Every structure is written in structure tokens, then in C-alpha cells.
Amino acid sequence: MERKNLIIGLFGFGCVGKGLYEVLEKTPRLNARIKTICIKDPNKPRSLSSEHFTFDKNLILNDPEINTVVELIDDADAAYHIVKTALQAGKAVVTANKKMIAEHFQELIELQKKHDVPLLYEAACCASIPIIRNLEEYYDNDLLESIEGIVNGSTNYILTKIDEEKVSYANALKDAQEKGYAETNPTLDTGGFDAKYKLLILIAHAFGIIVKPEEIYNIGIDRLGELELNYAKEKGLKVKLVAIGEKNSDGNINAFVMPKFIEKSDKLYSVDDVFNGVKTKSFFSDTQFFVGKGAGAYPTASAVLSDISALSYDYRYEYKKLNQEDTLELDNSVLLKVFLRHDLEYGNSFKLLFDDIQETYSNRDSGYIIGVITLENIREIFAKQGLESSIVLFDLVKKTNSQIAKGIRVQHTYA
Ligand code: HSE
């Protein structure tokens, strides 16, 4: 198959945009040329001469010679307008903007169909790991049971620094920002929002389910404190921010983002620094594991490059699982075994929200509860303003068949 000639209009020349420019220079066989680069800030010093740049987005969007738009800006609203206009103009689009995709997913899928143009976004999830195309193409069957992964590089970098080098949270975050891993608004990383957007995209390609960002519950690493970090150390566990999408016994999907205690035997245990790792579990193949750098200029640019290459062979996502008849639904009635740290004054009221309690502890200022609780009750606890609590997941708790049949809540089903 002959490669298409791609004439690219690039939006954004920050960390990833520059990385892409350099990577493209090194891959002449790709038949892809950046014609125009649109940037926002005229005062930033640039590594290329000024004739490469424009400040007018229409010079790209209205240029009939440009057949491919690569969008690498961090303003999700501006990115949405660029991507939408480009698709409407019949241009293929590559984007890395997970927030923008998550907020407009359904519409973006419809626009691709209506204008018969592809939108690719491998770089939006786990940077260098080719996870979307694998979920889309390889697992094209009903047998995929779950995906679980570390999908945010910055938070993994921060947790590794705190764990291994005893660096303070603030300094580790600053370091992640300086290395170009964090979002411009780092709360998106530390609050688990970035991981949520990625999970939303991943479950669409894994299970054919499209939900809104507010439907997936996310708790980040910004609440973690000494009590739970010390607990992890004592037990030989690591704390990682994980995104989980799992088919439950009713065949619906549980999906959420939360810090989790990871055991040594778990593949995610050795996924440190800026690396991301995703485990898939399916009926016959059991667990498979993908790992790679999850943030930074070159890892992200490499995924953008791979999408550009795929476009040159006319690749597009077919969203096969979305078009299945028996569509799945998001189900938040999942039971979780967790470690909940709380202010002393809340201990008794929080205990009432647990289905089962395994261990409690308190010192002079705070305490913790280890037990089984529903995701809905966790949401209720953390909806309280100004709460000094944090939560770390041990695992999902499966209901037994008889409990499901009787509709009763779980007792001791975990080891
Ligand atoms: N801020 C993101 C992260 C960038 O840290 O994973 C890559 O999506």
C-alpha cells in the first residue's frame, strides 16, 4: 500500500510540539511535512525562524493544501474548536488532548463519521504505550475482563520520588513540572483528573462504553499523608495511582481512579518514575502487561508520530465495540476494600458507612479504618468540604453468587 503524502498544520510548539518537529526531521521516509505551525505567544523565544510560525489559526484551517492537523496545545477548549473545525473541513486530525476528547467524545465520534475523516489520539493515553490501538484492534471480542493501570506519569514520578528519595511532595511536583511531565494546571494530574480522562478513553476502546467525565469517580494523590504511606512501607507495599475499568458480575463496567496499595508480586509494583503500565485481563489469555514512558516530550511525540504514520496508510478507529448491540453500562455500585484515614471526630460516623470493618486504629489526631465500603459511600464521605481524609484501595471485592441473588450486601468475601 502506498503512503499518502501528509501536509501538516501543527498547533502548539511546546514540549511535545517541538519534540514532534525533531522526531519528524529524523524520519524522512514518512512522507509527512509540517507546512505551518500555529502558536499563541509571540514573545516566547523559539528554536525555529519566524517564517515557520503563524498566530492565525485560519491560515491552517482554511489552507486547502494542508490535509492533516496535529493539535498539541494544552487549552482543551481552544483545542476542541480547532479539532472540530478541522474535521468539518475534511482534514484528518491527530491530538494528544485527553481532557478535550473526554469532554466531547460522543460528538467527536459523530464528526468523524459525518465528514468521513479520521481522528487519532494514541498520545492521549499513556504516551509511548500503544494501548488504544491494541484495545481497539487486538481485543475485538467479548472476552476482555478488565484493564488496570498507572496512566499518569507525573503522579507516578512524584510517588516514586517521595518513596525512594524522601523528597517532599511539593519538591517532587516541582521537579515533575520542570521535566515537562505535568499539565499546566497540575491539579489535573495530582487530583486524578488526567487519569480519569484517560480511563474514559480506554474503556471506550476496551468495552465500547462512552461516559461523561463526571460519571467516573476520581481521587488523586494530593490527599495522601504519612499514616497510609508508613502503613505501606511497613507492609512492603507501594502506593500508586491506578485507573481501573472492570466488567462486573452483571456484565456492566466499574470504572474509577484511586490510589492503591500495590504488592510486590503485582506487575505494577516495578512501574516507577514517569513510566506507565497497563494490565489487561481476558478470559483465555489471562493477564497481559504493557509498559512504557507515560509523559514527556519524546515519548508523547513518538505516539503522535505513530498516528501520523497510521494516517498515511488511511488508518482510522472503527469503534467496533461501540456499535455492538448489547451495550454495557457504567455501574458505580462496586464494593471496595480500602484504608480510610480520617480526623478523630469523624471516625464513628464513617464506620457506619462501611459494610464490613477489618481493622481500626487511632492516635491523638487521626485514625484509620480498613474495611469494605461501596464506591457511592466513598463519594459521600469525600463530598464533605474541608475534610482531612484520604483513601487507598486494597482491591475490588466480588460479591458471592448467593449475595447477588439475594441482593444483600457483602460480609467477609475477602481474604
Ligand atoms: N500530565 C500527563 C502525565 C502528561 O503526567 O501523565 C501525559 O499525558
Q: CATH number, domain at 73?
A: 3.40.50.720
Q: What is the CATH number of the domain that holds 196?
A: 3.30.360.10
Residues 90 and 137 in one domain: no
Beta pairing partners, 260: 240, 393
pLDDT recorded at residue 413: 33
Average confidence (pLDDT) over 92-115: 98
Of the pLDDT bands very low, low, confident and very high (cuts 50, 70, 90), residue 97 is very high
Give CA–CA dist 383/15, Å, rounded: 36
Residues 57 and 117 in one domain: yes
pLDDT recorded at residue 202: 98
Of the pLDDT bands very low, low, confident and very high (cuts 50, 70, 90), residue 403 is low
Give CA–CA dist 67/33, Å, rounded: 11
Residues 178 and 87 in one domain: no
Give CA–CA dist 374/378, Å, rounded: 6
Ligand 1 probe mutation, 181, 218, 242, most atoms within 8 A of CB? 181
Is residue 48 over pLDDT 90?
no
pLDDT recorded at residue 50: 85
Q: Is 194 in the pocket of ligand 1 (CB under 6 A)?
A: yes
Is residue 287 over pLDDT 80?
yes
Question: For the segment 68-94, what is each residue's pLDDT rounded down to a tens digit?
Answer: 999 999 899 999 999 999 999 999 999
Average confidence (pLDDT) over 192-202: 98
pLDDT recorded at residue 410: 41
Beta pairing partners, 246: 146, 254
Residues 148 and 255 in one domain: yes
Determine phi and psi for 373, rounding to 5 degrees: -150, 155
Question: For the segment 210-220, what is each residue's pLDDT rounded down to a tens digit?
Answer: 999 999 999 99
> Domain tally for the chain?
3
Please report whether residue 215 resides in a domain.
Answer: yes
pLDDT recorded at residue 401: 52
Please report whether residue 326 resides in a domain.
Answer: no
Residues 348 and 254 in one domain: no
Give CA–CA dist 233/249, Å, rounded: 33
* Three cell numbers written together for 62: 482554511
**Number of the ligand 1 atom closest to the C-alpha atom of 300:** 7
pLDDT recorded at residue 409: 47
Q: Which of 73, 98, 124 is a domain's end point?
A: 124
Which domain covers residue 199, as residue numbers?
131-290
Average confidence (pLDDT) over 339-367: 95
- Separation of 233 CA from ligand 1 center, angstroms? 26
Q: Which of 290, 312, 346 is a domain's end point?
A: 290
Closest CA to 373 of 329, 405, 409: 409
Residues 138 and 285 in one domain: yes
Beta pairing partners, 411: none
Q: Is 40 exposed, middle or buried (0-12, 13-18, 19+ CB in 10 A)?
A: middle
Is residue 411 over pLDDT 70?
no
Ligand 1 probe mutation, 150, 152, 300, most atoms within 8 A of CB? 152
Question: For the segment 306-319, what is each residue's pLDDT rounded down to a tens digit?
Answer: 999 999 999 999 99
Give CA–CA dist 99/85, Å, rounded: 18
Average confidence (pLDDT) over 311-332: 90
Question: First vs last Cα of the chain: how many Å apart?
Answer: 55
Percent of the chain with pLDDT over 70: 96
Catalytic sites, residue numbers = 198
Please report whether residue 303 resides in a domain.
Answer: no
* Three cell numbers written together for 4: 499518502
Closest CA to 119 of 69, 59, 164: 69
Please report whether residue 143 resides in a domain.
Answer: yes
Residues 225 and 347 in one domain: no
Give CA–CA dist 15/183, Å, rounded: 11
User: Could you tell me which residue, 251 or 326, shows the higher pLDDT?
Assistant: 251
Residues 33 and 79 in one domain: yes
Side chain identity, residue 123:
A
The SS3 of residue 318 is coil
- Separation of 304 CA from ligand 1 center, angstroms? 14
Q: Is 186 in the pocket of ligand 1 (CB under 6 A)?
A: no
Average confidence (pLDDT) over 234-247: 98
Closest CA to 316 of 115, 128, 141, 32: 115
- Separation of 265 CA from ligand 1 center, angstroms? 26
Residues 245 and 223 in one domain: yes
Q: What is the DSSP string of 262-300?
A: E-TTSGGGG--TTEEEEEEEETTTEEEEEEEE-SSHHHH
pLDDT recorded at residue 43: 83
- Ligand 1 atom 8 nearest Cα: 295
Rounded to 10°, the helix 105-115/76-88 angle is 20
Is residue 415 over pLDDT 80?
no
Average confidence (pLDDT) over 17-23: 91
CA atoms within 13 A on the CB side of 328: 28
Residues 135 and 211 in one domain: yes
Q: Is 182 in the pocket of ligand 1 (CB under 6 A)?
A: yes
Average confidence (pLDDT) over 9-31: 91
Average confidence (pLDDT) over 174-190: 96
Please report whether residue 304 resides in a domain.
Answer: no
Residues 111 and 165 in one domain: no
**Of 14-23, 136-145, 394-403, which range is least confident?**
394-403
Q: What is the CATH number of the domain that holds 384?
A: 3.30.70
User: Alpha-carbon Rg of the chain, whole angstroms?
Assistant: 22
Ligand 1 probe mutation, 129, 189, 198, 300, most atoms within 8 A of CB? 189
Q: How many residues does the chain have?
A: 415
Of the pLDDT bands very low, low, confident and very high (cuts 50, 70, 90), residue 400 is low
Beta carbons within 10 angstroms of residue 177's beta carbon: 15
